[in-house]
Structure 1
Amino acid sequence: MTTNFIGLPKEGAAQLANELNDLLANYQILYMNVRGFHWNVTGSDFFELHAKFEEVYDQLLIKVDEIAERVLTLGHQPLHSFSEYLMHSTIEEAVDVRDGGQGVDHLLAGYQVLLTKQRRILSDAANFGDEGTAALMSDYVSQQEKESWMLAAYRSRSHN
């Protein structure tokens, strides 16, 4: 078995890099969606959602950089064009969303996509002995599960 410069099996690193690139594409589309929600939100929840969406897109941007750097650490190249992101992303662009509740719903749906992908990467990383990728995914899953719970609680309040 041949290993890469960080001691992981080359084939496993390639598989994980592909999965991380897919995840990166989804993060980039979700980031742009949430940025749009922040810019365009209107209504009675404007102040709290405008601030919340900014907090979320700041966190998404940090993760975009971390994922791209992890792909590089595995010895591969991260996707870096929006045409590639659109091609690889399961999350679709959300255009002209002004209603804050719809923005939150889109965000929750996006988190569901990310959580599913991250759990799969976490499992695959563990199988290949890639503690670095596993730790990153574990942190993301934990944070997004809590964020999803809080957003779902917010949405149940706003539906009453």
Structure 2
Amino acid sequence: MATTSIGIAKKDREAVAKQLSKLLADTYSLYLKTHSFHWNVTGPHFNSLHTMFETQYNELWLAADEVAERIRTLDVFAPGSYSQFGKLTTIKEEPSVPDWKEMVNQLVTGHEIAAATAREVIKVADAAGDEGTVDMATGRLKAHEKTAWMLRSLLK
């Protein structure tokens, strides 16, 4: 069996993957919430929010795959169940259907949480000399910060 030899020690790869697993859980949880809000939004901004949420959940879906594949690149198994994600994320589940303003507010909070998680990934990956993960996590950080800003702007 071939061993993984990408210039990062196994313990460092595992530490990075642990942080990436939290980012994956945040990404998937935010994807699910955004998709639900896309289905259930109502009110005077229905069309624009319905379309915006669709763009956002599609981006999150692709991002989840990118994060999971980075975990696998580090030769660690990626979490992939709701129960695993529930233990790894701090994004709160929404069991009801809030009004559009609360939907937007929750998504702002979710993207801010994911941005903070991406910052932690960057710190651990940088300490491990894992430039590939630093690069990917920096892209995720920028995407979450921009999306939070765009959503926050709707509430002003």
Tell me if both proteins adopt one fold, taking TM over 0.5 as the criterion.
yes
Q: Greater CA deviation, 3-12 or 81-90?
A: 3-12
Question: Residues 53-105 of structure 1: CA distance to partner in whole angstroms, max 9, x if unpaired?
Answer: 10110010011000100000001000011111112211121122242111111
Q: Which residue of 2 aligns with 1:74?
A: 74
- C-alpha distance in structure 1 between counterparts of 2:109 and 2:136, whole Å: 21
Map 1:6-155 to 2 at 5 A: 6-155=6-155
Structure 2 portions without partners, runs of 5+ = none
Question: Secondary structure of the residue that 2:64 maps to in structure 1?
Answer: helix
3-state secondary structure, aligned to 1:6: coil
- CA distance in 2 between counterparts of 1:39 and 1:71 reads 30
Partner of 1:60: helix, strand, or coil? helix
Per the TM alignment, residue 5 of structure 1 is displaced from its structure 2 partner at its CA by: 2.1
Kept in 1: contact 2:19–2:124 (CA 8 A): no
What SS does structure 1 have at the residue aligned with 2:7?
Answer: coil
In the alignment of these two chains, the number of paired residues is: 154
1-side partners of 2:80 and 2:139: how far apart?
24
TM-score, normalization: structure 1? 0.91
Q: Which residue identity does 1:102 align to in structure 2?
A: E
Identity %: 35
Cα distance in 1 for partners of 2:144, 2:92 equals 19
SS of residue in 1 equivalent to 2:97? coil
- Name the SS of the counterpart of 2:42 in structure 1: coil
* Paired residue type of 1:75: D
Unaligned runs of 5+ in 1: none
Contact 1:42 1:98 in 2 (8 A): no
